[in-house]
């Protein structure tokens, strides 16, 4: 079978899908969670109950694998890897207050947003790439980043960090990536659905071109968290 004919999604479409699924997940988590209709029983099979809330959160599980894959692609195709990493860290810091507000209604919280996980995963990819012939340093630096991911308590934590490295190592083997990646995410098995569009990726950049549109995808994360916080504040206070 010629799989190439199914590879019709550019990186831009993957970014858009990642943002949409993330938004669905966060709206369900922070807005719909207090609405009775969201827990209406659509289907019951044994002890398992399907509700609109469960369905929407299930769709939202696709977001992180997509973002993780895009981090790998970003590393491979960016013209300035230092600047790419700097942008990830910058927006991790910018996103922290909106993240704290929407989760705990506090300016400071002990857990960190997912941008920190993506940033640490990106650094891990850099370590694997630049120290590929120096096993001792590579292991030492990766362990240091793993510890940092645990202490940081960022969203998806050390498992998210390891997942990004897994996608990088298996980047040239989409079938193995999909199978092993889905097993890696077995506790959130619905996240494995993200490998369907990932396998449909054609390696092209797509319609996201120019700094304005590129940075719009970065800005969306802290902006949508802050908007959700304002909506949540209006509805539940």
Taking only the tens of pLDDT, the chain with its 237 residues reads 456 777 889 999 999 999 999 999 999 999 999 899 999 999 888 788 899 999 999 999 999 999 999 999 999 999 999 999 999 999 999 999 999 999 999 998 889 999 999 999 999 999 999 999 999 999 999 999 999 999 999 998 899 999 999 999 999 998 889 888 888 876 666 778 899 999 999 988 888 777 777 788 899 999 999 999 999 998 987
Q: What is the pLDDT of residue 225?
A: 97
pLDDT at 128: 96
CA 124 centroid distance within chain: 16
**Rounded-to-integer distance, Cα 196 and Cα 107, Å:** 38
For residue 131, give Cα distances in angstroms to 15, 42, 168.
Answer: 29, 52, 14
What does 72-112 look like in DSSP terms, one character per residue? HHHHHH-S-HHHHHHHHHHHHHHHHHHHHHHHHSSS--SSB
How many other CB atoms are there within 10 angstroms of residue 208's CB atom? 16
Contact (CB, 8 A) for 62 and 182: no
Domains of the chain, by residue range, sit at 3-236
Rounded CA-CA distance 224/216 in Å is 12
User: Which backbone phi and psi does 132 adopt, to 5 degrees?
Assistant: -65, -25
């Amino acid at each position: 079978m010629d799989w190439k004919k199914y590879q019709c999604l550019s990186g831009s479409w993957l970014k858009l899908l990642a943002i949409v699924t993330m938004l669905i997940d966060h709206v369900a988590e922070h807005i719909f969670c207090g609405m009775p209709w969201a827990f209406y029983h659509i289907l019951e099979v044994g002890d398992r109950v399907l509700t609109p809330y469960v369905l929407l959160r299930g769709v939202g599980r696709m977001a992180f694998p997509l973002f993780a894959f895009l981090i790998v692609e970003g590393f491979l195709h960016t013209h300035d890897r230092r600047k790419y990493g700097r942008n990830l860290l910058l927006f991790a810091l910018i996103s922290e207050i909106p993240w704290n507000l929407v989760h705990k209604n506090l300016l400071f919280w002990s857990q960190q947003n997912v941008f920190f996980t993506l940033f640490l995963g990106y650094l891990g990819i850099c370590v694997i790439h630049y120290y590929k012939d120096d096993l001792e340093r590579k292991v030492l630096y990766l362990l240091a980043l793993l510890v940092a991911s645990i202490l940081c308590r960022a969203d998806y934590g050390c498992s998210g960090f390891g997942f990004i490295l897994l996608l990088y190592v298996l980047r040239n083997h989409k079938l193995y990536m999909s199978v092993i990646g889905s097993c890696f995410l077995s506790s959130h098995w619905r996240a494995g659905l993200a490998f369907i569009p990932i396998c449909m990726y054609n390696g092209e950049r797509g319609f996201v071109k120019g700094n304005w549109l590129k940075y719009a995808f970065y800005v969306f994360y802290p902006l949508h968290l802050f908007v959700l916080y304002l909506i949540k504040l209006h509805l539940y206070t």
